[in-house]
């Protein structure tokens, strides 16, 4: 993972050639910076009900499906949640009720991004895990010093995604 950087304000005024995510995607824990970068990309990501549908995904419960074709490199959106140490997450796991969903991403460095609580996460928590069928990836980590209670990653399309295809990513991939 590359180091996070601030974008010079002048770059925010340049029209984006496409909706592709630049490398590196400029992010901080600040929502205003996220918004400025979405303006730069001319995309706030995919919207539920317009670009993505929430449907049953076999034995996995619910999943997100493309309601339209999504181009490789397109910003899907912001996956966020509560940042927990592995020990905190292990303790929470022991208290989980059978059948309760698991909405987690391994951030590396001993931290887990937990999207279980809908008030602290987005609908991207419904992207299911798959190593072999992954068509999305997490691009950048927010709050890489882990000083805050919340974190987020930008999820982008790793390849072209056909209409009707389920969105999947490797939730265990470390940054």
Q: Tens digit of pLDDT for each residue in 15-28?
A: 333 333 333 444 44
| Res 54: pLDDT | 95
| Region of poorest pLDDT, from 15-24, 56-65, 106-115 | 15-24
Asked if residue 120 is part of any domain, the answer here is yes
- Provide, for the chain, the percentages of residues in helix, strand and coil under a 3-state DSSP scheme, each rounded to the nearest 5: 20, 30, 50
Asked if residue 38 is part of any domain, the answer here is yes
| Res 8: pLDDT | 32
Asked if residue 1 is part of any domain, the answer here is no
Of the pLDDT bands very low, low, confident and very high (cuts 50, 70, 90), residue 77 is: confident
- pLDDT for 84 beyond 60: yes
Asked if residue 135 is part of any domain, the answer here is yes
Count how many domains the chain has: 1
The average pLDDT across 123-147 equals: 76
Of the pLDDT bands very low, low, confident and very high (cuts 50, 70, 90), residue 39 is: low
DSSP 149: S
| Res 69: pLDDT | 96
Asked if residue 174 is part of any domain, the answer here is no
Range of the domain at 128: 9-169
Asked if residue 43 is part of any domain, the answer here is yes
């Amino acid at each position: 993972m590359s180091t996070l950087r601030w974008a010079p304000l002048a770059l925010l005024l340049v029209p984006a050639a496409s909706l592709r995510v630049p490398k590196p995607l400029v992010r901080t824990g600040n929502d205003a910076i996220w918004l400025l970068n979405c303006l730069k990309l001319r995309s706030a990501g995919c919207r539920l009900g317009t670009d993505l549908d929430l449907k049953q995904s076999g034995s996995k419960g619910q999943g997100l499906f493309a309601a339209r074709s999504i181009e490789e490199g397109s910003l899907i959106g912001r996956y966020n949640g509560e940042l927990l140490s592995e020990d905190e997450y292990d303790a929470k796991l022991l208290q989980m009720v059978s059948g309760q969903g698991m909405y987690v991403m391994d951030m590396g460095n001993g931290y887990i991004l937990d999207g279980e609580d809908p008030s602290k996460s987005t609908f991207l928590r419904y992207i299911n895990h798959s190593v072999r069928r992954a068509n999305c990836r997490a691009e950048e980590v927010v709050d890489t010093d882990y000083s805050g209670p919340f974190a987020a990653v930008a999820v982008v399309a790793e390849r072209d995604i056909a209409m009707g295809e389920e969105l999947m990513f490797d939730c265990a991939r470390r940054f």
